[in-house]
Amino acid sequence: MSQAADSAAGKPVIRNPVLRGFNPDPSILRVGDDYYIATSTFEWFPGVQIHHSRDLRHWRLIARPLTRRSQLDMLGNPDSGGIWAPCLSYSNGTFYLVYTDVKTHTGPFKDAHNYLVTAKNIEGPWSEPIYLNSSGFDPSLFHDDDGRKWLVNMVWDHRKGKNPFGGILLQEYSEKEQRLVGPVYNIFRGTHLGLTEGPHIYKHNGWYYLMVAEGGTFYEHAVTIARSKSITGPYEVDPQYPMLTSSDKPDLPLQRAGHACLVQTQTGEWYLAHLCGRPLPGRRCILGRETALQRVEWTEDGWLRLAGGGNGPRVEVPAPALPEHPFEPEPETDHFDGDTISIHFQTLREPMSEEWASLKQRPGYLRLKGRESPVSQHRQSLVARRVQAFETEAETAVEFEPETFQQMAGLICYYNTKNYHYLCISRDEELGKCVYIMTRDKGEYDEPLDRPVSIEGWNRVHLKVTIRYDKLRFWISRDGATWTPVGPELDAGILSDEYAELAVGRCRIDQGFTGAFVGMCVQDLSGRGIWADFDYFTYRETDRA
């Protein structure tokens, strides 16, 4: 991900968001001259995304630490379960990553288990997980200057009549014993904004600063800071809280600003990484929650403020005094010619394996074995990548010979099991081999085509989707050169958090926290295990906004 060189004033700027498309809950870290941001991946595998930069302007995806089922077993996890709010830290030559694996998140209960993994190299290998606790989500590890380590996380209160966001818990972590030890302190109950979560602790000029997210992760999201001379509190709240929010600022391009993390550059400058979203008209963020950076300063009385004043996030931010460090552009096409697929691809809830996804069985192709349906929370044969721009197109070519209507393969635009558009190849009793569109809209099944399109006799089918903001259209081709539209223009807005969530007051009972993906999938509901061979996959951004 690159940035244009200069602002209108001729000085280098950071242009937000720096991590576009479904990169929420950022945890930023500097080690020497290198910067890293870890973000949430929810039900997508491998778990946790880590991007790298050397100038805070140009970022590249380099790793996903949770690559093994022993580190992350998400079979059966609900939509928007799995990895919530990882925290990346570093001490004495070791990287630490704490994360939550959420098994239940609707209704009164949250089954949320917190773990720790470590590595000597940011790109791994990462250790087997150490279990920490299950009292609530958003864990963060603080390394104090006296050598002690402390875990903070929010506590979930399921009881009727109580504040479910029951405060921020603090407990010491013993590296020798590899477990939490000593008393548990509830150090902060939050402000009137409510929904207090996402805690991080920092130490600056003799004060412990507690940074939390408040207001919920939608349009009232915010960042609040409190401080104390003792890590266990009591903590006083910044009198000008929240220090960052887009709430009640509908004209700002960056909305949903909150869930932040602080970093200091090697030149002494301070920046805040935070969650944001860019809504289309109708307040739908089809690219999901993204990551932005803001320049911040310490006031004389010891509080953190946005550089330039106010508390609203900015699209353009002065860049730090660091040498520019761009990366080579990412290839648009994966031809499946190597031993691994592009790092940008992920799968649902489980790792890729030769059992169902192979680059070896037919070299030069990705062979996917049909398994469960697109609504399964267990074993889907789906390989996809994020949509990261408002105008994009994706294309593939597939060879597939279905024997029954229960066998399908094709190109899918996917948000979750309840919201997707799917251009699939299948078999019809009258038409033979055919293509049709399958849509699931808030769980309601539909087929927008009046009649499937026969492709009987086609050995290879090229499939394409074009996305233009909130509009989506599918195309087919026999030769990859001449394209024919299939079906009507579809609503891309169903692939968004705001569309997926169902709000009752301030409580969301069916939440969406991810973003739009586009990719390849195969289903075989007959259980015969049919394969489809994909020759390539192209993802192209026609507008990088």
In angstroms, the Cα distances linking 216 to 211, 314, 469 are: 15, 20, 25
Return d(Cα 417, Cα 382) in angstroms, integer.
12
Q: Is residue 306 part of a domain?
A: yes
Same domain, 359 and 254: no
How does pLDDT run across 222-250, given as a tens digit for each residue?
999 999 999 999 999 999 999 999 999 99
Q: Which residues pair with 523 in a beta bridge?
A: 371, 408
CB distance 471 to 465 below 8 Å: no
Return d(Cα 148, Cα 471) in angstroms, integer.
52
Q: Which residue has the tokens 């920092």?
A: 202
Q: Is residue 346 part of a domain?
A: yes
The pair of structure tokens assigned to 388 is 């990261």
Distance from the Cα of residue 493 to its chain's centroid: 18
Q: Which residues pair with 425 in a beta bridge?
A: 409, 435
Same domain, 287 and 363: no
Residues 6+ apart with CB under 8 A from 524: 369, 370, 371, 406, 407, 530
How does pLDDT run across 92-123, given as a tens digit for each residue?
999 999 999 999 998 899 999 999 999 999 99
Same domain, 284 and 339: no
Q: What are 295-299's contacts with CB under 8 Å, separation 24+?
A: 295/269, 295/270, 295/271, 296/262, 296/270, 296/271, 296/272, 297/270, 298/204, 298/205, 298/270
SS3 of residue 492 by DSSP? helix
Give the pLDDT of residue 99: 98
Same domain, 309 and 337: no
Give the pLDDT of residue 500: 83
Q: Is residue 155 part of a domain?
A: yes
CATH code (residue 57): 2.115.10.20
Band (pLDDT 50/70/90 cuts) for residue 281 is confident
Catalytic residues: 25, 197
Q: Is residue 432 part of a domain?
A: yes
Give the pLDDT of residue 545: 67
Q: Which residues pair with 224 in a beta bridge?
A: 212
> Is a pLDDT exceeding 80 seen at residue 381?
yes
CB distance 475 to 483 below 8 Å: yes
The C-alpha angle 276, 347, 488, rounded to 5 degrees, equals 75
Q: Is residue 2 part of a domain?
A: no
Last residue of a domain, one of 261, 292, 318: 318
Same domain, 74 and 152: yes
| Whole-number average pLDDT of the chain | 95
* Domain tally, the chain: 2
CATH code (residue 458): 2.60.120.200
Same domain, 310 and 338: no
Q: Is residue 328 part of a domain?
A: no
How does pLDDT run across 2-40, given as a tens digit for each residue?
444 455 467 899 999 999 999 999 999 999 999 999 999
Same domain, 216 and 86: yes
Last residue of a domain, one of 294, 318, 342: 318
Return d(Cα 191, Cα 223) in angstroms, integer.
11
Domain that holds residue 192: 13-318
Return d(Cα 222, Cα 249) in angstroms, integer.
12
**What is the rounded average pLDDT of the residues 392-413?**
98
Q: Which residues pair with 484 in a beta bridge?
A: 476
Same domain, 244 and 376: no
Which helix (H) or strand (E) segment holds residue 497: the answer is helix 497-500
| 452 secondary structure, DSSP code | P
Return d(Cα 183, Cα 176) in angstroms, integer.
17
Distance from the Cα of residue 494 to its chain's centroid: 17
Residues 6+ apart with CB under 8 A from 134: 111, 112, 113, 114
Same domain, 207 and 237: yes
- Phi and psi (nearest 5°) for 55? -135, 0
Same domain, 398 and 496: yes
SS3 of residue 354 by DSSP? coil
Same domain, 511 and 394: yes
Return d(Cα 509, Cα 103) in angstroms, integer.
15
Same domain, 90 and 233: yes
Give the pLDDT of residue 53: 98
Tell me which amino acid residue 351 is: P
Q: Is residue 4 part of a domain?
A: no
Return d(Cα 496, Cα 470) in angstroms, integer.
10
Last residue of a domain, one of 268, 286, 318: 318
**What is the rounded average pLDDT of the residues 165-170?**
98
Q: Which residue has the tokens 């050995």?
A: 459
Give the pLDDT of residue 4: 46
Q: Is residue 6 part of a domain?
A: no
